[in-house]
A and B are shown apart, each in its own frame.
Chain A
Amino acid sequence: DGGITQSPKYLFRKEGQNVTLSCEQNLNHDAMYWYRQDPGQGLRLIYYSQIVNDFQKGDIAEGYSVSREKKESFPLTVTSAQKNPTAFYLCASSPGTGVWQPQHFGDGTRLSIL
C-alpha cells in the first residue's frame, strides 16, 4: 500500500540537542511538507519542498532545517535553536503543488523535551 511513513512515533529531546524526524513516502509525490500541530491550534507550515533538491521556508521555519536529496524522503531536523519544540509533527505530501492538490499525511511524531 502506498503511504507516508513517519518515524519515530515518539521522540524525546535533551537540552542543546538536535533531533531528526524521518518522513518517507512511496506515493511518487513531488511535493512534501512539514507541519507543526499544537493543542487547540491548526497546522502550521514549517517547510515545504516542491521538487528534489529544493525546499522553501514556511511560516515557522526558525529553529528547523530540512533536506530533500531523494524524492521519497524529507527529513526534518529540530535544532537546539528551537526553544519550544514540544509538539506533534506531521509530514504530508501531494502529487504537485498546484492549488487543487489534497495533501496526504503521515501518522506523526510526538516530540517532547526531557
Chain B
Amino acid sequence: GQQVMQIPQYQHVQEGEDFTTYCNSSTTLSNIQWYKQRPGGHPVFLIQLVKSGEVKKQKRLTFQFGEAKKNSSLHITATQTTDVGTYFCAGTPTPSGGYNKLIFGAGTRLAVHP
C-alpha cells in the first residue's frame, strides 16, 4: 500500500546544533504537509509544499520538496529548546480521487538539550 517513511525516528541534539528529518514516499505525491506536535499536544500545521523542487523557509526552518515529488525534508538551523516535539510529514498520493487523504509518516521526535 501507499507508505510515507520518515527518518530518523528520534534525534537528540545540543541546543544550537542543526536538525534534519527526511520523508520518503513510495508513490508520487500531489503535495506534502508538515506538522509539529509538542509533547502532550496535538499536531499543528506548519507548511505545505506543492511544486516539484520547491523550497520554503520559516525563520530557522527550511522545507524542501524533491524534484520527483516523492521526498521531502525539514531542516532546522541552530535548534532551540522551543523546537522540541515530533515533526510529521504527510502527503497526498497522486491520484487522490479529489479527497485530501493524507498519508502520515511516523514522525521524528526531536529532543534538544540546553
Residues of A within 8 A of B (CB): 31, 35, 40-45, 48, 50, 56, 90, 94, 96-108
Contacts and interface: CB of A to CB of B under 8 A. Distances in A.
A40 to B, nearest CB: 6
A98 B105 CA distance: 20
Contacts of A44: 104
A99 B100 contact: yes
B105 A97 contact: no
A40 B106 contact: yes
Contacts of B100: 31, 94, 96-101, 103
Nearest to A94: B100
B19 to A, nearest CB: 19
B48 A102 contact: yes
Contacts of A48: 99, 101
B106 A105 contact: no
Chain B contact residues (Cβ within 8 angstroms of A): what range?
A: 20 to 34
Contact of B4 (A42, A90, A98): A42
6 contacts: A35-B104, A41-B106, A42-B90, A99-B100, A100-B48, A101-B100
Contacts, number: 60
Given A31-B100, A43-B104, A105 B6 contact: no
Given A42-B6, A99-B96, A90 B50 contact: no
B102 A103 contact: yes
Contact of B9 (A40, A43, A94): A40
A43 B106 CA distance: 7
Contact of B88 (A43, A50, A100, A101): A43
Contact of B33 (A35, A50, A102): A102
B42 A108 contact: yes
B42 A106 contact: yes
A90 B88 contact: no
Contacts of B90: 42-43
